[in-house]
Chains A and B, each alone.
Chain A
Amino acid sequence: MTKDTGDGRIHPAAEMYADEYRAGLIDRREFLARATSMGVGAAAAYGLIGLNAPARAAEHMQQGGTLRIQQSVKGMKDPRAYDWSEIGNQSRGFLEYLVEYNSDGSFRPMLLDSWEVNDDATQYILNVRQGVTWNNGDAFTAEDVARNIAGWCDKNMADNSMASRMGGLIDQDTGQAREGAIEVTDEHTVVLNLSAPDVSVIANMSDYPAAIVHSSYEGGSPFDNGIGTGPFRPVSMEVGINCILERNTDHEWWGTEIYGGPYVDRIEFIDYGTDPSAWVAAAESEEVDLLYETVGDFIDVMDAIGWTKTETVTAATIVFRGNQEAEVGGMKPYSDVRVRRALAMAVDNAVLLELGYSDRGRVAANHHVCPIHPAYADIGPAAFDPDGAVALLEEAEMADFEHELITVDDDWQRNTGDALAAQLRDAGIPVQRTILPGNTFWNKWTEYPLSATQWNHRPLEVQVLTLAYRSGEAWNEAAYANPDFDALINRANAIADADARSEVIAEVEQLLRDDGVIIQPYWRSLYNHHNGNVVNGEKHPAHEIHLYKIGFAA
């Protein structure tokens, strides 16, 4: 399977994690996430704790067939501007990634063969996989990797979402990659020199905007260019209708001998709109084999019609936040910490989980760090005290203020919002509900005074904390600006060792809760369903569909 890191050196922290695992301090999943992000291959990581990597079901799979997946088909754009996991899946068949995040929490090297991280997470040595070719015959080299990374660092591209994740490589003056940040030392080695420690580089390379494109690609739809390293080739795609890939028989895919696959000959993503009842109808009509995601009550519906459920525990969540800078009727209601805390105290997170998501997940504690994150620190559950909430509001002279709670029109998000509104009303806090259709909602999602946002799963806790709560970040929807928090999160970002980091994270968690920044009721488990014939179609925590792994049962 995978080799160990280039020189066979195992990161010292990884061995320490292995000890912790054996001592029962962390679970297997957490161990894998920690160890593999330190550059230890998944097989080696399993080896460290004396287990065999889970065997794939290749022998039970038949070769060939057409896999039909229900999924929204969205317009293609430059991979760096991808804003939906779905778009990543549409191109995943031919545009591959350097690293692949797996649902067991491990990072699997794809176009990289392995990587090494120094102890304070400022230097990454990337060993590029040998023997990979583009489907037009060009060889895949370190230059390709360096070019793509440099592209990610381009801050001048307005909608480049990778730039904010490559901060350590960017020269803030030019908005491009810093001189000397990306070095190609030989044909198969790239060295990244970060200006500041960052433990999330590898995790970021696995995220959907980090697809690796060919040098001839010049923006626009990757489907028009069509050159990639993957085992499939694009056939056709119509936004909102379908997206078709087929196995590229002229191209010898590097992964066949290493990971096996691909198994199916043709893949069709078929768009059945956003209404889950239409997906059920499609499933009942046997027009699809695999659902992208099953949500809320539809999990029961799909179970009832006899489809096979798969589940993955994730750090995906919903966050209610007051925007601290937003003005309502001439004042900023949520700039007052008492108001924010009062709202959080009036809500019993467990009830939101029951009514909003049918108890399919874990209760969260208003600090956006999930127990499955490597550096999670348990600071106890969030307080529930409706009377105290009203008292706080009265103290802030905001008891009569009518809050307007905005959510997107999406089954579970609006249900959770409605349940939250009901709880506030129960506590005697006036609240009005507004539900906006998706297109409208996302227009101003960071600006609403009080709204709910869904956050996807991210492998490391520092990723989401940096993205969503550091002052001035584009996605800081709470308009939270606290120098203490910034200092803490910057410190956390420099600690490669998750155990040491978790001490800082504990402070971060407490700070977020004390400042009443968010009401974060629960962590969602994600589900999907397939018709029982699909092998390896399990739901992925980051909504990725690894097409090469999937096949039909023999």
Chain B
Amino acid sequence: MEPLSWTGTLGPVLNPLLLAAAVVFAVSVIVQIVLSVFVPRPVAEGPTVAAPRTVVDYVGWAVMGSFGVIVAVCLAYLAIGPMMPGYQGKGIVGAVSLQLMPVWIALIVTFALSMTFKRRLGLYGKLFDSTIGMIGFALVMFWVFAGVFGAMDLIVTHGALEQASGMKNKPPGTPLRGAEAGEYPYYLLGGDNLARDVFSRMIKGAWEVIRIAPFATLFAFMVGITLGLPAAYYGGRLDTFLSFLANLILAFPVILLFYLLVTPEIVATGIPVYMAAVLFLFPIIFFSVLFNSRFHTQTTKRAIYIGSTLVVGLWLYSGIAWNADPLGLIEFPPNLLVVFVAVVFVNSPTVFRIVRGLALDIKTRDYVAAAQTRGEGPWYIMLWEILPNARGPLIVDFCLRIGYTTILLGTLGFFGLGLSPESPDWGSTINEGRKLLTIYLHPALPPALALLSLVLGLNLLADGLREESLRD
């Protein structure tokens, strides 16, 4: 079999067009930047007179036009490519796009629904008013869907650990030697150093990241909020003590902390388990106090909410922290636990500081005073008055922090700490791929670009959210 080309039968038609558009785009962007620095912007003389057209405007059109062509061609590759007959016709891009079909469908459905009902969806709905926010959201959801469907074995073409003889370091589009019926006949993005499929590993890696980074960040937020609110609200000794503790952890260089915590020796001592035992109590405390303060007058509701929190919480707790789930459903291998704990531990103090700062500001507001006069308890005020009003900046920080956590996980992979070495997570794959980067680019680049685009998406999403929440 012939190796696949990148763009299949569409290539000869669209490639020259893409190239031409790219050249025009690059030239016009440079010209535009140069012009915007040297040519003063014509100041509109009064509201009615339109500014005369200048070179700047023509260049602007060139930029817009060529950019439009580029986007259209790329979309054509992605949308029309998969419809071409045969693997040769589809090319690598088309075939990848076809594999990603569940993701495209899920994305389109999500966007269609969200756009339709955006007025009823609060801050989330407002996101769809901002282009930047939408691009960010699309990038993030792309990887979320890819991760989830990948974990369900919908997208991947081969197993993440499957090695095929003769596929070591083979370039993208190489046909699988001796493929059996039912096996995908190509390595779409090539084979890595151990003859594993790069495309499948990247998708599987998305799942590794998607299941660790957001949850670790979420836990860090629970810890930070549970400690940050009372520190700000009560102040005094408690505040001094907690702030000192937070600053203490922040004074550690992150990598030193990782080197001290995420080693097999430390795992052997059982310290991560104890840390997990402490850190993972916080979500349970958080939810219990949250419901208790709200419903302490309605005893039945309180019993239901707190009861269910405790049952579910303690079940998860025993499974995650102690690896002793009575039902045997949750498994948390020790080396994953230690990574999780370390990441939560590193992130919590920063969240604590942010929450504390926000709460200090908000507690001087009138509605807090009003609640105090009403005789509400301190935890009600903290969790139901202060916290909802601090949600904007917190959500923004949450998005940014998931990105930061993704980078941290990669850093761990880079130093060979933590996750299982065969794990397809992006950090480890980048680290492995970089060793041979001087001759084989393809094993390292896909995970690197994946990581880059996910973090970029999270940053853009955070930007969009920030803009929209400021408009309130």
Contacts and interface: CB of A to CB of B under 8 A. Distances in A.
Interface in A429-445: 433-437, 440
Contacts of B162: 422
Nearest to B415: A437
B439 A276 contact: no
B322 to A, nearest CB: 18
A354 B439 contact: no
Given A297-B169, A440-B263, A418 B438 contact: no
B420 interface: yes
Interface in B148-184: 161-163, 165, 168-169
A387 interface: no
A215 B219 CA distance: 64
Interface stretch (B57-65, B429-437, B452-460): B429-437
A487 interface: no
- Count class of interface residues, chain B: 20 to 34
A142 B250 CA distance: 63
Contacts of B439: 297, 300-301, 304
Interface in A412-461: 414-415, 418-419, 421-422, 425, 433-437, 440
B421 A435 contact: yes
Contact of A297 (B165, B265, B436): B436
B422 interface: yes
Interface string B278-297: 00000000000000000000
A421 B194 CA distance: 12
Given A409-B421, A433-B422, A355 B194 contact: yes
A275 interface: yes
B416 interface: yes
B416 A437 contact: yes
B421 A415 contact: no
Given A433-B420, A435-B421, A436-B264, A355 B435 contact: no
A265 interface: no
A94 B60 CA distance: 73
A280 interface: yes
B165 A351 contact: yes
A277 B436 contact: yes
A224 to B, nearest CB: 31
A440 B439 CA distance: 31
Interface in B327-365: none
B135 interface: no
A411 interface: yes
Contacts of A425: 161
A545 B195 CA distance: 35
Contacts of A437: 416
Given A355-B163, A422-B161, A276 B416 contact: no
A33 B169 CA distance: 39
B114 interface: no
B193 interface: yes
Contacts, number: 60
Contacts of A355: 163, 165, 168, 194-195
A368 B106 CA distance: 56
Given A419-B194, A435-B421, A354 B435 contact: no
Contacts of A358: 168
Nearest to B436: A297
Contact of B165 (A284, A354, A435): A354
Interface string B427-451: 0000000111111000000000000
Interface string A271-315: 000011100100010000000000001101100110000000000
A460 to B, nearest CB: 35
Most A CB contacts (10 A, CB to CB) among B416, B434, B438 go to: B438
Considering residues B162, B165, B264, which has the most beta carbons from chain A within 10 angstroms of its beta carbon? Answer: B264
Nearest to B435: A277
Given A297-B193, A415-B194, A277 B168 contact: no
Contact of B264 (A298, A354, A419, A440): A440
Given A277-B435, A355-B194, A414 B161 contact: no
Nearest to A415: B194
A292 B193 CA distance: 23
Nearest to A280: B438
Given A433-B420, A436-B264, A440-B263, A411 B165 contact: no
Contacts of A409: 416, 421
B264 A414 contact: no
Interface string A298-339: 101100110000000000000000000000000000000000
A280 B265 CA distance: 32
A300 B193 CA distance: 13
Interface string B106-144: 000000000000000000000000000000000000000
5 contacts: A301-B436, A304-B438, A305-B438, A415-B193, A422-B161
Given A297-B436, A435-B421, A437-B416, 10 more contacts: A277-B435, A297-B193, A300-B439, A305-B438, A351-B165, A355-B195, A415-B193, A422-B161, A422-B162, A440-B264
Interface of B: 161-163, 165, 168-169, 193-195, 263-265, 416, 420-422, 434-439
